[in-house]
Structure 1
Amino acid sequence: MDLYVDPVCPFAWLAFRWLLDEVEPQRELDLHVRLMSLAVLNEGREGHTPEADKGDDSAWRPVRVGHALAEQRGEQVIRDFVRAFGTRFHDRELRGRDRVLREVLSELDAEDLYAAADSDERDDTVRRVHAEGMEPVGNDVGTPVLHVDGVAFFGPVLGAVPRGQDALDMFDGAVRLARFPAFYELKRSRSQGISFG
């Protein structure tokens, strides 16, 4: 199972917490967290400010640093990176992505990788991993993307983290849907705000 997330996406953060905090401790999962990129996803999309125009708040910066960390320490560190970033940016609502990034690198004792945020050295890797996540679901979706037993889908898009049995029931349902080759989409309009509590 592969969960593709961009650290700046609140829906990716909620899916991350659902799977890692609520489901993984109670299910035997071979779960890998991978980085997709909202910067890549939104390139050329109408209504989106180009990431290059966002300076220190560019969505390129966190995923570049995440890939640099993974190069240095292995894939498992992506979990730590996403958790540290999401806790600050989403749960604590700390603003200024650059500030968040610096604090995360300090927590992970990886300040030496700060320069990776503004280097395009890993952009081919960012694009390749992003494409691996998106290819099976198409480009008209967002983040998160979940791959289960060779089937991929966008979401689930959550407004809050399901807890306990609700989290497990939702996971079991998602896996069952994913196993049906003709399953494409479930959707309804968002009627409530996001809760990170």
Structure 2
Amino acid sequence: MSTVDMWFDPKCPWAWIASRWLLEVEQVREVGVRFHVLSLAALNEDREVEDWYREWLDSAWEPARVAKAVEQNHGPDDLRAFYTAVGNRIHLERRPLDQGLYLDALTEAGLPTDLADAAKDTDLDDAMRAGNATGLGPVGEDLGTPAIHVTDDDGETTAFFGPVVSPTPRGEAAGKLWDGVLLVAGTPGFFELKRARARPQVT
């Protein structure tokens, strides 16, 4: 069985779709998925970005901190449950990013609700920067989420950014995409395959 480690920002819609795809892949391929936090706000804090994106990033600190607190204090299984709970509220229900959202997501995931206080805890930011370095080190610091590392039975790891896909592939379609992504990502010297986004984002 291959181990798949995915780094996500809770607010990133493309990471959310990729995460749902990986959960589908688990059902049709011999893989086990683990999730980790990657903060796009921390990644871009010293970069010049457009005003609309800076506003988007400023609001991304809090959910990433709460997710990081879950990861640090409760481990990958609880982080996985929290990501599903918080992601459904952010990306499907379109709820505002506030304390109520974090409390509801933590409750659904069976986690202590006082973890919601982490939203304002800037002491977590260094841990998020370290997590960014771990997730993006083998991929490229100029990229972001989703970042995926695949480790096979021999301990060999292939790392890449993406895929950016919409809507979420389901069932065997998810497996076929997985097979193709592994094929191109495992090709030495392969860097990019891209086309314009011609359809609206669907989760």
Q: TM-score scaled by structure 2?
A: 0.86
Ranges in structure 2 where 5+ consecutive residues have no aligned partner:
152-156
Tell whether 2:18 aligns with 1:15: yes
Aligned-residue CA RMSD in angstroms? Answer: 1.8
2: CA distance between counterparts of 1:98 and 1:154? 31
In 2, Cα distance between the equivalents of 1:37 and 1:188? 26
Rounded to whole Å, the distance in 1 between the matches of 2:145 and 2:108 is 25
**Aligned-pair distance for 1:50?**
6.2
**Matches of 1:4 and 1:45, distance apart in 2:** 23
How many angstroms apart in 2 are the aligned matches of 1:67 and 1:143? 15
Greater Cα shift, 139-148 or 8-17: 139-148
Amino acid at match of 2:149: H
Is the CA contact (8 Å cut-off) linking 1:137 and 1:154 kept in structure 2?
yes
Give the structure 2 partner of residue 161 of structure 1: 168
Once the two structures are TM-superposed, the CA of residue 155 in structure 1 deviates from its matched residue by 0.4
SS class of match (1:126) = helix
**Do structure 1's residue 24 and structure 2's residue 31 form an aligned pair?**
no
Q: Deviations over 1:71-105 (max 9, x none)?
A: 22222211111101111111122233443223212
2:25 is aligned with what amino acid?
A: V
2:154 maps to: none
Residues 72/142 of structure 1: CA separation in 2 closer, same or farther (3 Å cut): closer
Contact 1:89 1:97 in 2 (8 A): no
2:142, 2:179 → 1: CA distance? 25
Residue 62 of structure 2: aligned partner: 61
Letter of the 2:185 partner, please give it.
A
Contact map agreement 1:51 1:60 (CA 8 A) in 2? no
* Secondary structure of the structure 2 residue equivalent to 1:158: coil
How many residues end up aligned between the 2 structures? 191
Residue identity over aligned pairs, in percent, reads 40
The letter for the 1-side match of 2:190 is: F
User: Secondary structure at the residue paired with 1:157?
Assistant: coil
Counterpart CA distance in 1 for 2:127 and 2:176 is 35
Q: CA deviation at 1:169?
A: 0.5
Q: 2:41 & 2:176 partners in 1: Cα distance?
A: 33
* Counterpart Cα distance in 1 of 2:71 and 2:191: 32
SS of the residue corresponding to residue 30 of structure 1 reads strand
Q: Which runs of 5+ in 1 are unaligned?
A: none
* CA distance, structure 2, for counterparts of residue 164 and residue 71 of structure 1: 32
Q: After TM superposition, where is structure 1 displaced by more than 3 Å over at least 4 residues in a row?
A: 96-99
User: What's the counterpart of residue 173 of structure 1?
Assistant: 180
The whole-number CA distance in structure 1 between the counterparts of 2:188 and 2:149 is 13
DSSP-derived class of the 1:160 partner = coil
User: CA 1:192–1:30 in 2, change beyond 3 Å: closer, same or farther?
Assistant: same
Change (3 A) 1:100 1:124: same
